[in-house]
Amino acid sequence: MRIKSLYRLHRALSIIIGIPIFLWAISGLMHPLMTNVRPAIATQESPEYLLSSDILKTAIPLKKVLQNAGIHQSFRSRIVHMDSTWYYQVLSRQSPSNQVNKRSRITGTQNAYLSLLQARYFNLQTGRELAQGDKLYAASLARHFLSGKQSQVNSTSPRIKSIQRVRDFTASYTYVNRLLPVEKVRFERADHITIYVDTHNSQFAFALDQHRQNFNQFFGWFHTWSWMDSLPKLKAAIIALILLVALFTAGLGIYLAVKTRPKTSTRNRANKTTSTTLTKARKLHRTSAIIGSIFLICWAFSGLVHAIQNGRTPFYIQPVSNERIKTNLLPDSLDQTFTQLAESSHLSSIGLMQLNGKLFMESSPYDTAEGSKDLMLTGGVNATTKHYYGYEYRKNSIQSNNLSAWTPYTENQIARLMAALVLRKEANSSIGNKQLDHQISKTDTARLQATYLTHFTEAYNFSDKVLPVWQISTSTSAAIQQGATSANNPIFIDASTGSLVKKADPFKQADALIFAFFHKHEFMAWAGKSAKDASTVLGVIIVITLLVIGYRLVYIKYKTKRKS
């Protein structure tokens, strides 16, 4: 193909793709602002209060509370604090009349089971159920995250405008926030601040005010194309096609810049001024393109990989097991065990869950150390050590109220047990066996290696959101026996919530590294966040300048043709 034809092709493609690239560049300038101009909240750390043994001594037994409420099975139970009062929080399946519409998209996702659970709250001292308990707890949590401990002084300030359950990701609460389901708590303030909270686990999810909402909406429309979220695969295909053309056009431009040199004008004296202007415009475009193409190619390439990843089926946080606690099998002396546990150490909560056919009790220590106020800035959380105790149901046996009747487990052991359940489930699924065997042996868990993560790493980065977690890996032979694809693909477990937070995906991991390095300029991380933001802004300005100079060249070329 002749050089002139290549020039025409380069020009034609540049005119077409210049518009979406310009919009991506302009909206890309918003990202540093979005990460710096954020709603002012007091903390992202979950609230903690000392659960004393005196409170538990006068508490109504959990088993009696569940029986009186007609709850025969529950997914999980724990003790929570809300506005100076202690409650049993019981997660159980919703009644059919309250379930989500089966045709809703959420029922097809991996977190559908969690979205069908409802949280009910019962007063520890009276056993009475708290009406609208989940909404009241959401309000209590939101005020804590917004104002800190001082929110307990006046539990009605600031006033709340609305509380809404969010079961799926939306334009305002996107997939990057990971947690579902959550409660959307909107306050009556001038900035219209909204706090998203996970009441099932007392976690902060996201904060949004009017300024951030405007930023997100602009960024969503012009950068991530949120208006096409209902057609994710089509959106990914269109974006990928545009970026492929952008890469080809940039590469073609570099080839032409190397292959050719600006030619001296040979036009007559009457057209000398116009020709000089055109020649200068070409030189300016060539010079700016040398620098601008570097940033453009980096962003286009990383954006292409990211678009392909976004077109794949997303992974949702999911429970490691759907086993339920049967109320009639709970020990009659459970309340006395709770009391003994609180007397032996300072606790902030006690919970129950069912794993591998066994009842487990989880005790959360009361920690006075100040936690992470902003996970984005700190990139980590304080290490916490939770204790677990296992209880095996025995028919026709005398139930002891002594804590020694429960087998102690470390959090490491529980995390490996949860991972083994996940791997066993995947192995059975791969061979089409739906009769899952949940009886995991010590041999199964012994093959697994667990690493406690309190900070983000390359394998588990900020986009994964949840901390702390356990990274579980296994040897090659064990991976084959458990049905895992590779020993180099670990899974990440949140033991405190009994959740599979992430499954390592080679392509997704590659996308995360490429996107962080080339798109978010993590190569400047050594100099701090301000340096990364400055590098991003500088690159965007250079790309915009390149586009403006390119369109100016096209305009001058058009005027020259009309005069000749």
Claim to verify: residue 497 and residue 439 sit in the same structural domain: yes
Residues of the domain holding 466: 411-505
The verdict on 427 and 498 lying in the same domain is yes
Whether 546 is in a domain gets the answer yes
Instruction: Please indicate, yes or no, if residue 61 is contained in any of the structural domains.
Output: no
Which of 168, 58, 156, 150 is closest to 107 using CA atoms?
A: 168
Look up tokens 């492929």; give the residue.
244
Q: How far apart are CA 249 and CA 243, in angstroms?
A: 10
441 located within any domain = yes
417 and 497 together in one domain: yes
DSSP-assigned letters across all residues of 311-364: HSPPP--EES----EEGGGS-TTHHHHHHHHHHHS-EEEEEEEEETTEEEEEEE
Number of domains in the chain: 2
| Residues 6+ positions from 535 with CB-CB distance below 8 Å | 521, 524
pLDDT at 402: 66
Within a domain: residue 13? yes
In sequence order, the 6+-apart residues with CB closer than 8 A to the CB of 107 are 100, 101, 115
**Among 132, 144, 147, 154, CA closest to 87:** 132
**One domain, residues 242 and 279:** yes
State whether 545 and 471 are in the same domain: no
Same domain membership, residue 558 and residue 495: no
Closest-CA residue to 286 (of 245, 247, 248, 254): 254
Q: Parallel, antiparallel, or unpaired for β 491-494 and 469-474?
A: antiparallel
> Which amino acid is located at 201 in the chain?
N
CA gap 544, 296 in Å, rounded: 10
Q: Measure the CA–CA gap between 209 and 414, rounded to whole angstroms.
A: 39
Q: What are phi and psi of 156, to 5 degrees?
A: -115, 10
pTM, to two decimals: 0.87
Closest CA to 167 of 203, 113, 120, 95: 113
Cα angle for residues 522, 528, 534 (degrees, 5° grid) = 75
- Tell me whether residue 440 is in a domain: yes
Same structural domain, 496 and 426: yes
**531 and 463 together in one domain:** no
Do 235 and 305 lie in a common domain? yes
In this structure, is residue 160 part of a structural domain?
no
The number of residues in the chain equals 564
Q: Which of 505, 529, 555 is the last residue of a domain?
A: 505
pLDDT per residue of the chain (564 residues) written in tens, 0 to 9: 688 899 899 999 999 999 999 999 999 988 887 777 788 899 999 999 999 999 999 999 999 999 999 999 999 999 999 989 999 999 998 765 555 554 444 434 445 566 678 999 999 999 999 999 999 999 999 999 998 865 554 566 689 999 999 999 988 899 989 999 999 999 999 889 999 999 999 999 999 999 888 888 999 999 999 999 889 999 999 999 999 999 999 999 988 888 886 555 444 444 555 557 878 888 888 888 888 889 999 999 999 999 999 999 889 999 998 899 999 999 888 888 999 999 988 999 999 999 998 999 999 999 877 666 677 667 788 888 899 999 876 654 445 556 777 899 999 999 999 999 998 888 776 665 555 555 788 888 888 999 999 998 888 888 888 999 999 997 544 443 444 444 467 999 999 999 999 998 889 989 989 999 999 888 888 888 888 889 999 999 999 999 999 998 888 888 887 776
Do 529 and 481 share a structural domain?
no
Q: Is residue 533 part of a domain?
A: yes
Which of 477, 505, 533 corresponds to the end of one domain? 505
Q: Are residues 481 and 438 in the same domain?
A: yes
Tokens 């929080």 belong to 89
pLDDT on residue 239: 97
Whether 426 and 456 have beta carbons less than 8 Å apart is answered as no
Q: Are residues 495 and 430 in the same domain?
A: yes
Q: Domain for residue 494, yes or no?
A: yes
Phi, psi of 90 (to 5 degrees): -120, 120
